[in-house]
Structure 1
Amino acid sequence: MSALEAVRRRQSWSKVTPEAPTREQLLPLIAAAGRVADHSSLRPWRLIELRGEDRERLGSAIAEATGDSSPSSKPLRASLLIAVVASYRRSDKVPRWEQEAVASGVAHVLSLLLDEAGWGVIWRTGGYTRTAAVARTHGLGPDEELLGWLYVGGKPGKEPGRRSPVDAEAVLSRMPAERADDDDGPAQDPGRPDACGKKAKKKAKKRAKKAARKAEKRAEKRKKAEKAERRLRQAEKRS
């Protein structure tokens, strides 16, 4: 199967069966996922596998973070949870947001590889993801943040609902055309002539009217200057 076919077939599985890949099965997939683009090769990420009682401890941490009296059952929805951690490195060239993007890329690629290997995967988060209680349970350091968990299990017989296809034409555009210094409106995309629609036409009309008013004012000034010059000449002749 090509990479294009694998990506087209990938989908999130909100419900999975109790089966899960072993640690030995995970290792080569993680090694491959780590090949994502990584500025300066900082590897600002790490993964934590949660199995068995680990999931119950996470449920207790979620309850602490949300103020609930009983542990959350959400971590029990899959036999294997893979926590995705952004582990920031000191760098003058690579900002934190770029390092977090690398960690996110690893998670996405890993979910794709797991799906291709026959496992059902969904990336889950929540308002409690970056709380102190949850961070403490995962053993996170001061320069680490949790990006969520990959819930991994067997694919049930029933396929999940399909996502609507992406309209590539709607999201791929060209660089905006260069604008003049006195142009207050947005430049129109040469690759999408109708991108701005009615709003663009209204703005164009406003700019045209503004330019016309400026031209009229300049013309009036020239007329006044010419009239004043004629009066001055007449006065000089009389004198």
Structure 2
Amino acid sequence: MSAGAYEAALTRRSRSKVSPETPDHDELVRLVSAAGRVADHSGLEPWRLIELRGTDRHRLGEALAEAEGKRSPSTKPLRAELLIAIVFAPKKSHKVPEWEQEAVASGVAHVLSLLLDEAGWGVLWRTGELTRTEPVHRMHGLAPQEKLLGWLYVGGVLPRDKPERPRTIDGARFITGLPTA
């Protein structure tokens, strides 16, 4: 077995705090080109990404505040210099149900987060109830059928004060056979 994908999955970490450095647009395009190779029944490509930098993050903070009924803009989008909005963009298909298409969009986001992590960037996938609100939908310019799945917050990796303890998963706990008839 090749160690690349296995090691990337084992060593991936969510980084809630990142430094201001970010991948440039060209590096992002290269990584998205690889992430878009996820399993995609009928090759529908039911996803797209929105790159948010600079004042885009302030606009998102205003939309989040509007969605929450608050006066002051949210500062959450300012926690990273680059946010990548993950958009589920379903396509009409008699063959591929919508839930399967949404799984493809989620797969692209997850693979992209692995690739960014492997390239040395800090990444955190943020979600929440506000992703499906009208002000946030409008701010992103989403079409009526599109849904926001969250944002990848991306930046440089900060040094840790404490050594990281990898989270371990007991794979055997999650694999079962069919129940007996």
Match of 2:73 in 1: 71
Which amino acid letter does the alignment assign opposite residue 24 of structure 1?
Answer: D
The separation in 2 between residues aligned to 1:66 and 1:126, in whole angstroms, is: 12
Q: 1:142 to 1:30 in 2, by over 3 A?
A: same
Match of 1:23 in 2: 25
Match of 1:171 in 2: 174
1:101 aligns with 2:103: yes
Q: Which has the larger radius of gyration?
A: 1
More helix by share: 1
Q: Percent identity?
A: 62
1:161 to partner: Cα distance: 4.9
Query: 1:55 aligned to 24, 38, 57, which one?
Result: 57
Q: What RMSD over aligned residues (CA atoms) do the two structures have, in Å?
A: 1.2
Under a length normalisation based on structure 1, what TM-score does the superposition of the two structures give? 0.72
Instruction: For 1:44-193, list aligned pairs within 5 A.
Output: 44-158=46-160, 161-162=164-165, 164-178=167-181
The separation in 1 between residues aligned to 2:43 and 2:168, in whole angstroms, is: 34
Q: Is the 8 A contact 2:11 2:166 kept in 1?
A: no
The separation in 1 between residues aligned to 2:163 and 2:70, in whole angstroms, is: 31
Which amino acid letter does the alignment assign opposite residue 170 of structure 2?
Answer: D
The separation in 1 between residues aligned to 2:163 and 2:97, in whole angstroms, is: 37
Match of 1:234 in 2: none
Under a length normalisation based on structure 2, what TM-score does the superposition of the two structures give? 0.95
The separation in 1 between residues aligned to 2:58 and 2:166, in whole angstroms, is: 32
1:163 to partner: Cα distance: 5.1
1:177 to partner: Cα distance: 1.8
Deviation above 2 Å: which 4+ runs of structure 1?
159-164
More strand by share: 2
2:106 match: secondary structure: helix
1:174 to partner: Cα distance: 1.2
The separation in 2 between residues aligned to 1:69 and 1:166, in whole angstroms, is: 43
1:162 to partner: Cα distance: 3.7
Structure 1 gaps of 5+ residues are: 179-239
In the alignment of these two chains, the number of paired residues is 178
